[in-house]
Copies of this chain bind each other. A is one copy, B any other.
Amino acid sequence: MRHDHLITSKQLSRTDIETVLDRAAEIDADRAAVADRHAGTLLGLLFYEPSTRTKMSFETAMKRLGGDIVDMGAVESSSVTKGETLADTVRVIEGYADALVLRHPKQGAATMASEFVDVPLLNAGDGAGHHPTQTLLDLYTIRENAGLDDLTIGIMGDLKYGRTVHSLSYALSNFDTRQHFISPESLQLPREVVYDLHQAQDGTQIREHDSLEEILPSLDVLYVTRIQRERFPDENEYQQVAGEYQIDPETLEDAADDLTVMHPLPRVDEIDPAIDDTDYAAYFEQAHNGVPVRMALLDLLLSDARGEDDE
Contact = CB atoms under 8 A, between A and B. Distances in A.
Contact of A77 (B50, B92, B97): B50
Nearest to A81: B50
B89 A52 contact: yes
A93 B267 contact: no
Contact of A96 (B56, B79, B91): B56
Given A95-B287, A266-B83, A59 B50 contact: no
Nearest to A229: B83
Contact of A265 (B72, B88, B267, B290): B88
Contact of A92 (B83, B94, B265): B265
Interface in A74-88: 74, 76-84, 87-88
A74 B72 contact: no
Number of copies: 3
B53 A92 contact: yes
A95 B52 CA distance: 13
A57 to B, nearest CB: 6
Nearest to A96: B60
A3 B76 CA distance: 35
Interface string A241-267: 000000000000000000000000111
Contacts of A64: 40, 42
Contacts of A97: 60
A170 to B, nearest CB: 25
B35 A40 contact: yes
Contacts of A290: 95
A70 B56 contact: yes
A28 to B, nearest CB: 12
A104 interface: no
Given A60-B96, A88-B265, A96-B60, A52 B76 contact: no
Nearest to A39: B35
Would you list the 3 A-B pairs with minimal beta carbon distance, nearest first?
A: A95-B288, A84-B266, A60-B96
